[in-house]
Amino acid sequence: MGLDLEYINGQTPLDEDEKNGLLIPTIATRGELDEFEQQNIEEAIQWVLTRTLKADIILTEKFIRNLHKRMYGNVWKWAGDFRKTDKNIGINKWQIPSALKYLLDDTLYWIEHEIFPPDEIAVRFKHKIVSIHCFPNGNGRHSRLMADIIVNKIYKLPEFSWGAENLVRDNNARTNYINAIKAADKNNYDTLILFARS
């Protein structure tokens, strides 16, 4: 007879599969992992804030991978590397480089020709890169930071608030975020743009 344990939020133990590639062997729970990842992400944000970045730098594979590495490189050894396995979400692993190249080229075109307003360009990019699912993990947070970089560094507008709550944990903001993503999946970006600015 197995024990049915209920863990306090963040205290759920990580299983061995979840620890694969972890650089800090003392991390044992989801809460500890979130804390180390958040600290690493904050360092990446500080790095971005000190840079003058233009579209032709931001919208490159090199920048995309470097940002992911800066966000997770102190925690995961695979940070910045494209995933090497297929997942139940995202495209096939071998399609990642070409799909990303198409997205980067499309986004540069949208910017150059003012196809969409700035917020929509950033949110469309965020939605499309997360659907490619370039990395083993951290795609959602990476895509939101990329949208913030696009809207702030290219358009000089304030970063998005993304509901002003932690979107990693289950809460109302996460539910609203998921619903907005589902609407964007059907090519309706209005809800996701509103959520990004809420």
Distance, in Å, from the CA atom of 45 to the CA atom of 62, rounded to the nearest integer, reads: 17
Give start and end residues of each alpha helix (H) in 26-112: 30-49, 55-58, 61-72, 96-112
Q: What is the DSSP letter of 12?
A: P
Per-residue pLDDT, 145: 97
Q: Where along the chain do its domains lie? A: 30-196
CATH class held by domain 30-196: mainly alpha
Given pLDDT bands bounded at 50, 70 and 90, which one contains residue 8? very low
Average model confidence (pLDDT) across the chain: 90
Burial of 184 (0-12, 13-18, 19+ CB in 10 A): buried
Q: What percent of the chain has pLDDT over 70?
A: 91
Q: Which residues of 33-43 are buried (b: 16+ CB within 10 A; e: fewer)?
A: beebbeebbee
pLDDT in tens, 84-93: 999 888 999 9
Q: CA neighbours within 13 Å on the CB side: how many for 33?
A: 22
User: Can you tell me whether residue 22 is helix, strand or coil?
Assistant: strand
Largest Cα span, the chain: 64
Q: CA neighbours within 13 Å on the CB side: how many for 197?
A: 13
